Amino acid sequence: MAELARVTALRKVDDVLADVTATAKELIPGVDVAGVLLIGKAGTFETLAPTSDLMFKLDELQMRFNEGPCVEAALDEIVVRTDDFRDEPRFPNYAPAVVELGVLSALSFKLYTADRTAGALNLFGHEPKLWDSEAESVGMILAAHAAAAILASREGEQLQSALSTRDRIGQAKGIIMERFKIDDVRAFSMLRQLSQDTNTKLLDVAQRVIDTRGD
């Protein structure tokens, strides 16, 4: 567990999530399938780091029926446990469908990324009544590692986007400074004024200056 924490900040999010799901199978007895379900734009779902192709089917069924432990954990509850899908009234459509696939137990954990819910860490088993409060405690720790990896990835993407924006505006200022023989303050003022006059985003104005610098 300590090793998993150490590498969280050093590796790509997909690699960390793969370690989380693999570790879940190692540390929690009875886990046959593990994966991470993320919520994307417009309520779309994505399955990451599955330990088996069965995970895709289990998530697909939840998307189809709009119910199931992973969806409930991702959107509402912190921990969702099903001891036996053969007797699970919360998911009247999903439960019988997964029983046909040989899955009887589930344990899902909400993932937090700052103030946003990113999805859930999900564990499934072929036997009933597999897990207790100890399994839930271990799963919550693993879910925290998964959430940290997702947050780090999103912050990295935001930082990269911010750096790219700054670079493009800086490049546009340089072109204006050279063309009109003015300082950087006046060059930025020209960019901002053009943005306001044309009702165009500052970044788009900067890109237009860059694209037309040879004209």
If asked whether residues 24 and 13 sit together in one domain, one would say yes
Separation CA 39–CA 184 (nearest Å): 42
Cα dihedral 115, 105, 95, 122 sign: positive
Rounded to whole angstroms, the Cα distance separating 119 from 3 reads 24
Sheet holding 79-82, edge to edge: 45-48, 33-39, 116-125, 105-113, 79-82
What number of other Cβ atoms are within 10 A of residue 168's Cβ? Answer: 17
Total domains in the fold of the chain: 2
The pLDDT value recorded for residue 152 is 73
What's the pLDDT at 68? 95
Query: Are 59 and 79 in a shared domain?
Result: yes
Same domain, 101 and 203: no
Q: Is the domain of 16 the same as that of 91?
A: yes
pLDDT at residue 212, rounded to an integer = 85
* Separation of alpha carbons 193 and 50, rounded Å: 51
Q: Which of 141, 156, 171 is the last residue of a domain?
A: 156
Instruction: For the chain, list residues with pLDDT below 70.
Output: 1-11, 40-43, 112-118, 153-166, 214-215
The model carries a pTM of 0.68
pLDDT of residue 39: 72
Q: Which pLDDT does position 5 carry in this prediction?
A: 45
- 165 plus 115 within the same structural domain: no
User: Could you tell me if 170 and 184 lie in one domain?
Assistant: yes
Residues 50 and 111 in one domain: yes
Residue indicated by tokens 């793969």: 18
- What residue numbers bound the domain in which 56 lies? 2-156
pLDDT at 187 (0 to 100): 86
Cα–Cα distances in angstroms (integers) from residue 68 to residues 28, 91, 192, in the given order:
21, 6, 50
Q: Supply 68's token pair.
A: 């199931």
For tokens 């999010």, what's the residue?
13
pLDDT confidence of residue 204:
85
